[in-house]
Amino acid sequence: MVPRVPLPPGPNALLHLRKDYRMIPVITLGSTGITAPQNGFGALPVQRCDMETAVRILRRAYEGGMRYFDTARAYSDSEEKLGNAFMSDDYKNACPRESIYIATKTAAKTPEEFREQLETSLKNLKTDYIDVYQFHMANQCYRPGDGTGMYEEMLKAKEEGRIRHIALTAHKIQVALEAAESGLYETIQFPFSYLASEKELHLVELCKKNNIGFIAMKGLAGGLINNSRAAMAYMLQFDNVMPIWGIQKETELEEWLSYMENPPVMTDEIRTFIEAEQKELAGSFCRGCGYCLPCPAGITINQCARMSLMLRRAPSDDWLTEYWQNEMKKIEKCLHCYQCSKKCPYELDTPALLEKNYEDYQNVLAGRVSVK
Ligand code: SF4
Ligand code: SF4
């Protein structure tokens, strides 16, 4: 049972937290002592780059002032890329180990698997300790004595000095709230952007109250937000939130680095823009996380269930190709098995959402609705 804590008055209630700064603020993550510029690097997308490009991007991020890097055992070779970028002999002097913070994750379900994954991560990262070690997409708030042995394994790893801080990432708000109340976790990672609802704002406040670092993933809501300035201005209002921006291209990196100096502050103009976005994207929309996959009917749910938004928020031609027409057509084969809804952390009625998007898509294709 999650203890009840009063909710803050509303999504805009915290907009007074910070008003002015000339350089990106440097924040400390709860009780960890980790102190870094409030502009972190999310290393999921670098798994799609070749090694040379990834190493170049990661080093440029460091040289541009980023210090907090987040990866996961589950992101194929992302850990290895971080290891090659920062721990190789040719870069060790430029980047002493204690000058950066590396967070990674384990999706282990047993203590044996946990140990195996930890050793692999340390080897990939070419380091003898991990700063922040997180239970990845936890479906439960692991506790000592819960019978799984998972928290005990975390503690052991910390005592051995293999990890510095015990942490958790979640997509289910109840799990994150329970972790924030438990006193067992030093940072919590959760999706957070300017589309946050009162529930997420409440979680951020709860973490602040309990001196827990809050790591914000999906700051661009899985690609739906395309105004990085507004996204950053929003994050910087919260002095306990570390955004980790998923970065794959040098151009994206330079955009985030440009905010190291003259970071955007919340102005009336940005506030009005965000309010319009919140209105447009309110309610049940697919964030594109893909946690509902695979679908037995082969539907690319994470794109098809948000096609209407993509058609209007990205160049629509890219989504009207023959390829995407065929992908959308698969919605006709939906079995209504609801496997997707059961796995969706946002508890969406995914089959209904797919149908709605398909209807709109057909209207756009037929020229009955314009998205230009
Ligand atoms: S339907 Fe839910 S789980 Fe699937 S991609 Fe969308 S938000 Fe994620
Ligand atoms: S309900 Fe439809 S979309 Fe969802 S998993 Fe089943 S077949 Fe796929």
Q: Are residues 322 and 235 in the same domain?
A: no
Six-digit token string for 193: 């952007």
Compute the distance between CA of residue 227 and CA of residue 213 in angstroms, rounded to an integer: 25
Sign of CA dihedral 9, 25, 61, 95: negative
The pLDDT of residue 164 is 98
Compute the distance between CA of residue 134 and CA of residue 355 in angstroms, rounded to an integer: 36
Identity of the amino acid at 261: E
Ligand with smallest separation from the Cα of 343: 1
- Look at residues 283, 314, 302, 292 and name the one whose alpha carbon lies nearest to residue 357: 302
Q: For ligand 1, is residue 302 a contact (CB within 6 Å)?
A: yes
Quickly tell me which residue has 């980023």 as its tokens. Answer: 66
Measured in Å, residue 329 CA sits from the centre of ligand 2 at: 13
Q: Are residues 252 and 315 in the same domain?
A: no
Q: Is 176 domain-assigned?
A: yes
Q: What residues are in contact with ligand 2 under a 6 Å CB criterion? A: 295-297, 299, 301, 334-340, 350-351, 354
Ligand with smallest separation from the Cα of 333: 2
Q: Are residues 70 and 200 in the same domain?
A: yes
Compute the distance between CA of residue 85 and CA of residue 126 in angstroms, rounded to an integer: 10
Strand partners, 40: 244
Measured in Å, residue 341 CA sits from the centre of ligand 2 at: 8
Q: Are residues 121 and 47 in the same domain?
A: yes
Q: Are residues 73 and 133 in the same domain?
A: yes
| Domain count within the chain | 2
Q: Is 370 domain-assigned?
A: no
Q: Are residues 317 and 245 in the same domain?
A: no
Measured in Å, residue 191 CA sits from the centre of ligand 1 at: 13
The pLDDT of residue 342 is 93
Q: Is 273 domain-assigned?
A: yes
Domain CATH number, residue 36? 3.20.20.100
Q: Are residues 54 and 189 in the same domain?
A: yes
Q: Are residues 360 and 228 in the same domain?
A: no
What is the reported pTM?
0.83
Identity of the amino acid at 230: A
Compute the distance between CA of residue 23 and CA of residue 25 in angstroms, rounded to an integer: 6
Q: Is 89 domain-assigned?
A: yes
Q: Which of 197, 284, 286, 337 to mutate to test the pocket of ligand 1 (most atoms within 8 A of CB)?
A: 286
Measured in Å, residue 80 CA sits from the centre of ligand 1 at: 28
Q: What is the pLDDT of residues 311-367, one digit of tens each?
A: 988 778 889 999 999 999 999 999 999 999 998 878 899 999 999 999 999 999 999
The pLDDT of residue 10 is 39
Q: Is 110 domain-assigned?
A: yes
What are the angstrom distances between the C-alpha of 81 and each of 66, 123, 140, 186? Answer: 16, 12, 30, 26
The pLDDT of residue 222 is 79
The pLDDT of residue 21 is 64
Helices (H), 12-127: 51-63, 78-86, 111-125
Q: Are residues 44 and 116 in the same domain?
A: yes
Helices 250-257 and 51-63, packing angle to 10 deg: 10
Helices 51-63 and 78-86, packing angle to 10 deg: 60
Domain that holds residue 318: 301-365
- DSSP, collapsed to helix, strand or coil, labels residue 190 as strand
Q: Are residues 107 and 177 in the same domain?
A: yes
Quickly tell me which residue has 């946690």 as its tokens. Answer: 291
DSSP string, 246-280: E--SHHHHHHHHTTSBSPPP--HHHHHHHHHHHHH
CB 34 within 8 A of CB 209: no
What backbone phi and psi angles, to 5 degrees, belong to 217? -95, 165
Ligand with smallest separation from the Cα of 331: 2
The pLDDT of residue 14 is 41
Q: Are residues 179 and 317 in the same domain?
A: no
CB 244 within 8 A of CB 40: yes
Measured in Å, residue 141 CA sits from the centre of ligand 1 at: 22
Q: Is 288 domain-assigned?
A: no
What backbone phi and psi angles, to 5 degrees, belong to 106? -125, 135
The pLDDT of residue 20 is 58
Q: Is 174 domain-assigned?
A: yes
Q: Is 155 domain-assigned?
A: yes
The pLDDT of residue 86 is 96
Q: Are residues 155 and 262 in the same domain?
A: yes
Residues of the chain with pLDDT under 50: 1-17
